[in-house]
């Protein structure tokens, strides 16, 4: 704010010359930010070179025109910063907006405003400076892209390792098994693989095998012919036919009956299905991705899942980590969810407080990413604006101790939270770096590098003598 006050003072001194008809374009044009001034009739009285470049409007076409006809932004009608400044006499700083350039493109900008006064102190107009954030916006997108894959977000070692192999898996077109606890994003990964594959122009269909009674699941997958059973008055294509050329996700495949397992095995082997009531098999070209939150190997030992079907679907296997195993991704996920819900709910939540983020990183998330999303949605209901604090979290997430008193008013940086998380993990494992790295979801060498760069004083013991 101090920097803005100094800048606005300089700007007012420059523009005082303009008010007395001794306008000096050279001075205004030396400023990197866009600058324009208006009188009390909202007509532009000056327009510098940077303003020309950002808006794509020439100075001669802007002077003596109403500012809202030249400087078209998304806050002109509802929340004009310059109008508020001229009305109240108070400057504004760091207001974000988007302007529409002459060519019709949108450009993100940051605005600061100040009143223009004559020698007697009367307000005679206003000055607005604005900075083009297009390059900054692009850099943010590039940075975000390093930690996202489709709609999957993560920066932990275990997630970046998965990101690296997804393109090869997508290209292979083989049957895939995705294992992971509920809420880890199995369907997101399946969709990402489909979208990266040569089948992306065809359909992706997901079937929750646990949600459909087994007697109906067969007809849902393979379809039926008219007259196959009472009520079957016309042919119905199954999901395999509907997804022809595309991908089908058999979610919670471990829940299907042994009888249906036999039929599914035949489909995978022969690439043909037999609709109920049909005597002719139908050839299908569909990539099958199966997913489960259960331990199939244990089901194999108990005889509840066929080994031949398991080896048929387990050509390539992805094991998705729980959120507890990749705590370093929590800040990124929180930022993503806050931004997403701000758009959906039309709110302006700034983020989460330091103590809240600390608590969110300590929590174990039995429901994984889905539970984190529910937690942030719950907080959005209770938080009207500003920062999400511990009191806005669901009761089961809040700490029971005195730590629940949120005394912090700032947002702790990602680096500070990363440092705190590493310290806590090292202490939990008595200094054992390998176990701490595994818990954090990063490589041992990455942990060593971070301990050094973040100047962390690791415990004097290395934890190797600790009993497991």
pLDDT at 468: 42
What's 92's domain CATH number?
3.30.450.20
| Domain shared by 7 and 134, yes or no | yes
Model confidence at 8, pLDDT cuts 50, 70, 90, reads: very low
pLDDT at 410: 44
C-alpha–C-alpha distance, residues 202 and 350, integer Å: 40
* Residue 21 near residue 129 (C-beta atoms within 8 A): no
Residue 296 has pLDDT above 60, yes or no: yes
> How many residues belong to the chain?
468
| Domain shared by 448 and 346, yes or no | no
Task: Identify whether 127 is part of a domain.
Answer: yes
Number of domains in the chain: 4
Coil vs helix vs strand at 159: helix
Task: Identify whether 327 is part of a domain.
Answer: no
Assigned token pair, 445: 């060498």
User: In this predicted model, what pLDDT tens digit does every residue of 37-68 receive, in sequence order?
Assistant: 999 999 999 898 888 888 888 989 999 999 88
| Domain shared by 305 and 182, yes or no | yes
Share of the chain above pLDDT 70, in %: 84
What's 443's domain CATH number?
1.10.10.60
User: In this predicted model, what pLDDT tens digit does every residue of 178-229 receive, in sequence order?
Assistant: 999 999 999 999 999 999 899 999 999 999 999 998 878 988 999 888 877 7
Strand ranges in 294-432 using DSSP code E only, listed in sequence order: 316-319, 349-352, 386-388
Cβ count near 21 (within 10 Å): 6
Q: What are phi and psi of 432, to 5 degrees?
A: -70, 105
What's 229's domain CATH number?
3.40.50.300
Least confident among 49-53, 307-311, 316-320, 460-464? 460-464
Assigned token pair, 371: 């539970």
C-alpha–C-alpha distance, residues 108 and 137, integer Å: 7
Rounded to two decimals, the pTM is 0.60
Q: Where among 319, 345, 375 does a domain terminate?
A: 319
| Domain shared by 338 and 253, yes or no | no
Mean pLDDT, range 317-335, rounded to an integer: 92
C-alpha–C-alpha distance, residues 445 and 434, integer Å: 9
Assigned token pair, 362: 């300590």
Domain range enclosing 373: 334-410
Coil vs helix vs strand at 457: coil
| Domain shared by 277 and 361, yes or no | no
pLDDT at 460: 61
What's 341's domain CATH number?
1.10.8.60
Q: What is the mean pLDDT of the chain?
A: 82
Cα–Cα distances in Å, from 153 out to 2, 125, 242, 329, 335?
A: 37, 47, 30, 7, 11
Model confidence at 426, pLDDT cuts 50, 70, 90, reads: confident
pLDDT at 1: 39
pLDDT at 130: 87
Model confidence at 148, pLDDT cuts 50, 70, 90, reads: low
The crossing angle, in degrees rounded to 10, of helices 433-440 and 414-428 is 130
Model confidence at 401, pLDDT cuts 50, 70, 90, reads: low
Share of the chain above pLDDT 90, in %: 38
| Domain shared by 284 and 311, yes or no | yes
| Domain shared by 445 and 432, yes or no | yes
| Domain shared by 196 and 231, yes or no | yes
Coil vs helix vs strand at 316: strand
């Amino acid at each position: 704010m101090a920097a803005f006050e100094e800048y606005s003072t300089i700007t007012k001194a420059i523009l005082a010359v303009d008010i007395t008809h001794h306008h000096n374009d050279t001075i205004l044009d030396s400023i990197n930010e866009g600058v324009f001034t208006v009188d009390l009739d909202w007509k532009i009285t000056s327009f510098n070179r940077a303003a020309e470049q950002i808006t794509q409007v020439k100075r001669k076409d802007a002077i003596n025109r109403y500012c809202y006809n030249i400087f078209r932004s998304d806050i002109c009608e509802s929340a004009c910063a310059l109008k508020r400044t001229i009305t109240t006499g108070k400057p504004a700083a760091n207001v974000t907006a988007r302007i529409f350039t002459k060519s019709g493109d949108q450009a993100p900008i940051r605005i600061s405003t100040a009143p223009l006064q004559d020698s007697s102190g009367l307000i005679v107009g206003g000055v607005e400076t604005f900075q083009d954030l297009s390059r900054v916006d692009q850099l943010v997108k590039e940075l975000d892209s390093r930690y996202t894959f489709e709609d999957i977000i993560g920066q932990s070692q275990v997630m970046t390792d998965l990101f690296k192999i997804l393109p090869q898996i997508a290209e292979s077109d083989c049957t895939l098994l995705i294992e992971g606890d509920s809420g880890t994003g199995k369907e997101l990964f399946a969709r990402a693989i489909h979208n990266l594959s040569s089948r992306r122009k065809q359909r992706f269909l997901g079937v929750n095998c646990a949600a459909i009674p087994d007697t109906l699941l067969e007809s849902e997958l393979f379809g039926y012919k008219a007259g196959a059973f009472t009520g079957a008055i016309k042919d119905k294509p199954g999901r395999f036919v509907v997804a022809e050329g595309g991908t089908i996700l058999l979610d919670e495949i471990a829940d299907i009956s042994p009888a249906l397992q036999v039929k599914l095995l035949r489909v995978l082997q022969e690439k043909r299905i037999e609709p109920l009531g049909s005597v002719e098999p139908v050839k299908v070209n569909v990539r099958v991705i199966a997913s489960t939150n259960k331990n199939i190997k244990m089901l194999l030992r108990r005889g509840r899942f066929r080994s031949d079907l398991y080896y048929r679907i387990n050509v390539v296997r992805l094991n998705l980590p729980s959120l507890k195993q990749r705590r370093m991704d929590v800040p990124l996920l929180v930022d993503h969810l806050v931004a997403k819900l701000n758009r959906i709910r039309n709110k302006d939540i700034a983020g989460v407080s330091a103590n809240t983020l600390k608590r969110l990183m300590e929590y174990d998330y039995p429901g994984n990413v889905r539970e984190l999303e529910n937690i942030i949605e719950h907080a959005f209901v209770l938080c009207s604006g500003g920062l999400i604090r511990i009191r806005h979290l669901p009761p089961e997430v809040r700490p029971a101790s005195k730590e629940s008193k949120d005394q912090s008013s700032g947002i702790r940086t990602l680096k500070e939270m990363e440092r705190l998380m590493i310290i806590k993990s090292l202490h939990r494992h008595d200094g054992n770096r390998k176990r701490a790295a595994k818990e954090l979801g990063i490589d041992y060498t990455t942990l060593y590098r971070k301990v050094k760069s973040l100047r962390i004083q690791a415990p004097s013991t290395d934890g190797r003598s600790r009993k497991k």
